[in-house]
A and B are shown apart, each in its own frame.
Chain A
Amino acid sequence: DVKVTQSSRYLVKRTGEKVFLECVQDMDHENMFWYRQDPGLGLRLIYFSYDVKMKEKGDIPEGYSVSREKKERFSLILESASTNQTSMYLCASSLRPHYEQYFGPGTRLTVT
């Protein structure tokens, strides 16, 4: 079974703090993705990575950056958290570009 894990289930941070969200997959998948999920807006893609050290912007990259130093790990960074980044963050991975994506359990981030 594919396993995608995320470092925290719940996180509370203050405005202006730097926030790191980590995601690890154990199935040697090439592609990894970060989404945020908000009521009424569905899942929106923030960034994705198709190989180590490679990244591409998704639909809403503003205010975020990512890092992929190892194949199994993909980090999402909020350089200076703001209240409008309060959301559920979901990481996903897929074996190949056209394959289904598997999701981690999500991190519910609250920025106060």
Chain B
Amino acid sequence: EDKVVQSPLSLVVHEGDTVTLNCSYEVTNFRSLLWYKQEKKAPTFLFMLTSSGIEKKSGRLSSILDKKELFSILNITATQTGDSAIYLCAVLPINTGTASKLTFGTGTRLQVTL
């Protein structure tokens, strides 16, 4: 059974801090790892990582994948209160038939305080 573990479960930081969120996985026939941000409603897509060692970046957020050690990190620099959310990690296996199913971790709850 595919498994995704995120750490820490929750985190409180001050505005301006840099944070690192972790995601480790065990999955048969790994294809990609995805990060989502969930505020009060729908998860919104951040990154999809398929290749090891290649950083993806969007503004103050960046992420990298290590396929040998089976983990990914999501970095947020110069955090703002608007970064407060649950960050979800999910893995996507190679499609062996119809549609590919995401397996999600339980998320990291980040709170950024003034």
Residues of chain A having any CB pair with chain B under 8 Å: 4, 30-31, 33, 40-45, 48-50, 54, 56, 58-59, 90, 94, 97-98, 100-106
> Which residues of chain A are near B92, meaning CB under 8 Å?
98
Mark B4-42 against chain A: 1 for CB-CB distance below 8 A, else 0: 000000000000000000000000000110101000011
- Contacts from B to A (Cβ < 8 Å): 31-32, 34, 36, 41-45, 48, 88, 90, 92, 95, 98-102, 104-107
Tell me the bound Cα distance from A31 to B36 in angstroms. Answer: 18
16 sampled A-B residue pairs with Cβ under 8 A: A31-B99, A42-B106, A42-B107, A43-B90, A43-B102, A43-B104, A49-B99, A54-B98, A56-B99, A90-B42, A94-B99, A98-B32, A98-B92, A100-B45, A105-B42, A106-B41
Q: Is the CB of B42 within 8 A of A104?
A: yes
Q: Report the minimal beta-carbon distance from A68 to chain B, rounded to whole angstroms.
A: 12
Query: Is there an interface contact between B88 and A50, defined as CB atoms closer than 8 Å?
Result: no
In the complex, chain B residues whose CB is within 8 Å of the CB of A43: 43, 88, 90, 102, 104
Given A43-B88, A50-B99, decide whether A98 and B104 contact each other with a Cβ distance below 8 A.
no
The interface residues of chain A lying within 8 Å CB-to-CB of B100 are 97-98
Distance in Å: Cβ of A92 to nearest Cβ of chain B: 8
B98 contacts A97, C-beta separation under 8 Å: yes
Contact yes or no, A103 B42, CB < 8 A: yes
